Amino acid sequence: MDFSAPYDTRRGPLLARNIVATSQPLAAQAGLSMLYRGGNAIDAALAAAIALTVVEPTGNGLGSDGFAILWDGAELHGLNASGRSPAGLGSDEISQRGWGSVTVPGAVSAWVALSSRFGALPFETLFGPAIDYAENGFAVSPIIARLWQLGGEALAGQPGFAECFLPNGKAPKAGETFRNPAQAQSLRLIAETKGAAFYTGTLAEQIAADAARHGSDLSMDDMANHRADWCGTIQQDYAGVALHEIPPNGQGIAALSALGVLGHFDIASLDPDSPQALHLQIEAIKLGLADAEAFVADPAHMEVMPDQMLAPDYLARRAQEIDPNKAILAQQGAPKHGGTVYITAADASGKMVSLIQSNYMGFGSGVVVPNTGISMQNRGAGFVTTPGHANRIGPAKRPFQTIIPGFVTQNGAPLMSFGVMGGPMQAQGHVQMVTRMMVHGQSPQSASDAPRWRFVAGKEVAVESTMPDATVAALERMGHKIVREAPDNAFGFGGAQLIARHGDGYVAGSDHRKDGGAVGF
């Protein structure tokens, strides 16, 4: 592994035997405190995830969905805790915001499932830091403050939003203290009842009642019938390792497809920052995203299955569609930005966790259930209205999901737990991180620091302002329509958190595009 720092960065890699990495420093410390108390990586990841619902409400909340991949010391497990649309859904219209976009939230069920099966500490212990920050307040960090302001401008009129998130009618500024006592009480109820209050008790009643007041079909039965599923993983071999993703309804298969296509090109012979290397990755992810858009849905409704999408002969044919010197068109819709949080943790016993949760677009639906601090996701916006499409909006269906935890193994052993939060950036980020680290040997921090690109639609590709002019010019000569995004739009390129095995411990990287960091001992 190369520990040089080839890119401008404010951070160096962290090497330790126990690590937590996430996008907000207080949440990272919450996770680390569980390791100090004798907890394991699962406890650490959960405490960080629970704290993030308080300290980074721009990307997640108690009304989020969640997914996880974890190595328990002996084998790999995958968890899909995403929720479904209301069983009594009476509309085929898609809403971007408001109660019409809300599906059953699953993150709380993920916490319960992970803790009960793999945790070492009592469930209620994991909530201590989050409750403290909600009740007594925390200083809002700079990047989150900016996203909070943008969310407030867009969502002030949504039910309950201003009352919860705009004290005195304004989003809190960086450094200002924010308190959410209603959320503190909800966290206590969830902790004390091991999640039952959220799905069958008083919180479920409040969610269903507010939904009914605003004409939503979400009911108590929908909440009570939700279950998190242990679903295993799907994988793709690449560069001597295997990338694991959660099976559909998530977009992780797009990253697997892209790597399967890239395996037909000699990426290792190229400089990681060369226009040719970037071009091949862009073209490969175009194909992967096109297939994901066309085929991925609730697995109970899919007609083209993952093994068909990842069949070696099919990926070989897809690779033949790529022109090594020219951008192609791949049919798919223009991706949208998203709001998500990601946590990875690893401990000295060998356990590693890749955990992601999200309200989807920043602050999700914008809906906050009165007197609870529960902000609801807008995952219903992930459905389509195309007749006959597997992901067509309908009752009791899981929508297409953008959030994906990543995990890498080598010869059946754990090698890296990682994620790149940020809507449609996520599968693209997985390809960039795996290629940089597994092919070119970059450290987690260097792979995270490198200038990023993001395929948008058609031949349009957004690049960070730090992308060298010569690289941009070369990509343009290949036919790519390059859009340079301003430095203050760095959140559009996602936030990576990575932990990789190194020696008898780990090495971690945490994205400078976020407020957080990697901490450990």
Distance between CA atoms of residues 155 and 388, nearest Å:
33
Is residue 261 within 8 Å of 289, Cβ to Cβ? no
Is residue 488 within 8 Å of 315, Cβ to Cβ? no
Locus of tokens 């096109």: 290
What is the separation of C-alpha 477 from the centre of its chain, rounded to a whole number of angstroms? 33
| Catalytic residue of the set 22, 193, 233, 340 | 340
Distance between CA atoms of residues 182 and 57, nearest Å:
14
Provide φ and ψ at 118, rounded to 5°: -130, -10
> What value, to the nearest 5°, has the Cα angle with vertex 158 and ends 157 and 163?
80
What is the rounded end-to-end Cα distance, in angstroms, of the chain?
Answer: 21
- As given in the structure block, the two tokens for residue 364 are 């999700």
E strand map for 174-246 = 177-178, 229-230, 234-238, 241-245
Distance between CA atoms of residues 502 and 266, nearest Å:
26
DSSP string, 54-113: HH-TTT--TB-EEEEEEE-SS-EEEEE------TT-------SSSGGG-----HHHHHHH
DSSP string, 160-185: THHHHH-GGGSPPPTT-EE--HHHHH
Closest listed residue to residue 390, CA positions, set 309, 282, 287, 321:
309
Distance between CA atoms of residues 495 and 502, nearest Å:
22
Closest listed residue to residue 155, CA positions, set 334, 357, 333, 360:
360
Give yes or no: 340 in active site.
yes
Distance between CA atoms of residues 441 and 178, nearest Å:
42
Alpha-helical regions (H) of 405-521 = 425-434, 444-449, 469-477
Distance between CA atoms of residues 441 and 428, nearest Å:
19
Query: Which residues are paired to 177 by β-bridges?
Result: 139
Helix (H), strand (E) at residue 21: strand 19-22
- Catalytic annotation, residues: 340
